[in-house]
Amino acid sequence: MRIRFWLTLGLALLLSWALAQPRTLIIAQGTDPTSLDAPLATDSPSGTVVSHVVETLFEYTPDGKIVPLLVERYSFSSDRKTLTLFLRKGIKFHDGTDFNAEAVKFNLERLISPELASSFAFLLRGRVSAFEVVDSHTLRLRMPEPFAPVLAHLSHGSTGIQSPAAIRRLGAGYRDNPVGTGPYKFDRWQKGQFVELVRNEEYWGKKPAIERLRFLAVPEATTRMALVETGQAHVAVRVPPQDVQRLSARPEIEVVTTPSVRTIFFYFNQAKKPFDDVRVRKAINHAINKEEIVKFVLGGFGRASDAPISPGIFGYTKIGSYEYNPNLARQLLAQAGYNAQNPLRFTLHSPNGRYLQDIRVAEAVQSQLRAVGVQAQIQTLEWGAYLAASNQPRERNEFQMAMLGWGTVTGDADYGLFGLFHSSQHAPNGFNRGFYSNPRLDRILEQARVATNPQARQQLYRTAMQIIYNDAPWAFLHSEQQVTAIRREVQGFIVHPIERLIATQASFRTASER
């Protein structure tokens, strides 16, 4: 209790200090970043912080367009095997070094290098055969075949362009000290508590109005809501459904609901029993009442999944959903050898504070599984430890059934399907953390990457998602909505559908404007 008291007191003092600074915007996220090095920032809380410091060549806008950012213009060769990037001139990294073609080449080659071991290497590895510097601000990407999602992939945060000089100078320490070209510069990271950024006064684009940003790590939803209610934070993520009406009634707070491209699921570790048996995986799917979870646990702030990716993504097609059928679940379990005398037992892993109502969703699933005779024990870990454990290689991976969320943040199905289901992406090389493998699916996903006709790609993804549905590598749950509380003294704050919080256009209203 004494430790909790001093931690609470310390957080209160830090918040009081920040609020005394009239130009500090305080954002209460659910978890601490795991890394501030762009190719290693594998979760949205990390990506949100990094995106204010590090910029990408292209940008995926809130209205779903891919537009140039650090690129001024670009062109494809007639066979679409060469992409030429003409970079913006006159831009400096925060350490004063030049942004140029050599820096871009360095970053993209680093992303796909085996030494870095980024799980995002699949975005370009094997698809770009060479990065050629034409002149100081022109870079050419050579591809063995046309690569349909290349521009979308170059909008992904892991392709962000960081200072080569800083990376070389800091080595492993760079993960805690990012240096980019963005509108904010990294200031400090008090791990487990907050990250603070300061405005880049030499920013090449429109300078932000707010001088400082502070991102708090606050896993407990009740604490996040208390912070925004008392004015100790300006923004709080993932408002619990039961708090929406109360917060909305407060004149000083706006509750913003934003569609999300994020799909929530439990993946099955198919490298070991019991989930190497498709009958068990399908039984779990039939035992879960997704509509009930969306209605009663999420308060309606979501939709039951009908595909492995969310609507609004190129390549999405409604495939269907496993019917809630407890009797069929029991039959499939019996066929697999499980019954009252030999019940199915396993550990169900869940984060706590990362996704909307995540632990309550896990508890609801646990209860529904219990109704068909399945004994699932819930285990939670701190978010960074959770990700690390889920990313262990096959022989050391102890997770059996674990909750994760995936946002197809490039707007292209390749990111959501190749990265999660292709057999080349087994952990720790990629995000296929259940070690799912289907050679036919692999071939279809590879064909979709090089197809130049959008309709052909759409059909390939339809086929791919049907295969995934039939194999049941996941317990498909729901796509969530983002429910964010924002104090009304803040204007221009953006909640992006890819679950990025964007403060670059935000400002504080004067008292007369509120």
- Gap between the Cα atoms of 112 and 121, Å rounded: 5
The whole-number pLDDT of residue 17 equals: 47
What percent of the chain lies above the pLDDT cut of 90?
94
What confidence tier does 232 reach under pLDDT thresholds 50, 70, 90? Answer: very high
Q: What is the DSSP letter of 493?
A: -
pTM over the 0.85 mark: yes
**What tokens does 241 get?**
């459904």
Residue 328's alpha-carbon distances to 266, 276, 280, 339, 364, in angstroms, are 20, 19, 11, 13, 19
What percent of the chain lies above the pLDDT cut of 70?
95
The whole-number pLDDT of residue 514 equals: 61
- Gap between the Cα atoms of 450 and 457, Å rounded: 9
Block residue for tokens 């917060």: 247
The residue-averaged pLDDT of 128-149 equals: 98
- Please list, in sequence order, all residues whose beta carbon lies within 8 angstroms of the beta carbon of residue 416, skipping any fewer than 6 positions away: 263, 308, 309, 313, 315, 406, 408
Nearest CA to 314 out of 165, 202, 155 is that of 155
The residue-averaged pLDDT of 42-61 equals: 97
pLDDT over threshold 60, residue 14: no
Residue 274 CA, chain-centre distance (Å), reads 28
The residue-averaged pLDDT of 288-310 equals: 97
The residue-averaged pLDDT of 109-122 equals: 97
Mean pLDDT taken over the chain = 95
- Gap between the Cα atoms of 111 and 107, Å rounded: 6
The whole-number pLDDT of residue 512 equals: 63
Helices marked H in 258-357 — which ranges?
278-287, 290-292, 326-335
Mapped onto helix, strand or coil, the DSSP state of residue 112 is: helix
CA atoms within 13 A on the CB side of 47: 19
pLDDT over threshold 70, residue 19: no
Residue 290 CA, chain-centre distance (Å), reads 22
pLDDT tens per residue across span 414-473:
999 999 999 999 999 999 999 999 999 999 999 999 999 999 999 999 999 999 999 999
**What tokens does 237 get?**
């993520």
pLDDT tens per residue across span 372-396:
999 999 999 999 999 999 999 999 9
The whole-number pLDDT of residue 20 equals: 45
pLDDT over threshold 90, residue 10: no
Block residue for tokens 């995002």: 120
Mapped onto helix, strand or coil, the DSSP state of residue 264 is: strand
* Nearest 10 degrees: Cα torsion 455, 459, 464, 467: 170
The residue-averaged pLDDT of 75-90 equals: 98
For each of the domains in the chain, give its residue range(s) and CATH number, in order of start: 7-53+182-258+482-513 (3.40.190.10), 58-165 (3.90.76.10), 262-480 (3.10.105.10)
Main-chain dihedrals φ then ψ at residue 27, nearest 5 degrees: -120, 120
DSSP per-residue string spanning 291-305: HHIIIIISTT-EEE-
DSSP H/E element including 360: helix 358-370
What confidence tier does 510 reach under pLDDT thresholds 50, 70, 90? Answer: confident
What confidence tier does 513 reach under pLDDT thresholds 50, 70, 90? Answer: low
The residue-averaged pLDDT of 269-290 equals: 98
pLDDT tens per residue across span 33-42:
999 999 999 9
| Residue 252: other Cβ atoms inside 10 A | 12
The whole-number pLDDT of residue 375 equals: 98
Contact 463, 420 (CB under 8 A): no
Residue 189, burial from CB neighbour count under 10 angstroms (0-12, 13-18, 19+): buried
Block residue for tokens 């390549």: 315
Nearest CA to 37 out of 25, 27, 49, 28 is that of 49
Main-chain dihedrals φ then ψ at residue 190, nearest 5 degrees: -95, 95
Mapped onto helix, strand or coil, the DSSP state of residue 386 is: helix
CA atoms within 13 A on the CB side of 149: 31
What confidence tier does 18 reach under pLDDT thresholds 50, 70, 90? Answer: very low
The whole-number pLDDT of residue 2 equals: 43
- Gap between the Cα atoms of 133 and 104, Å rounded: 9
The whole-number pLDDT of residue 6 equals: 45
Beta-bridged to residue 27, according to DSSP, are: 215, 235
The whole-number pLDDT of residue 3 equals: 42
What confidence tier does 4 reach under pLDDT thresholds 50, 70, 90? Answer: very low
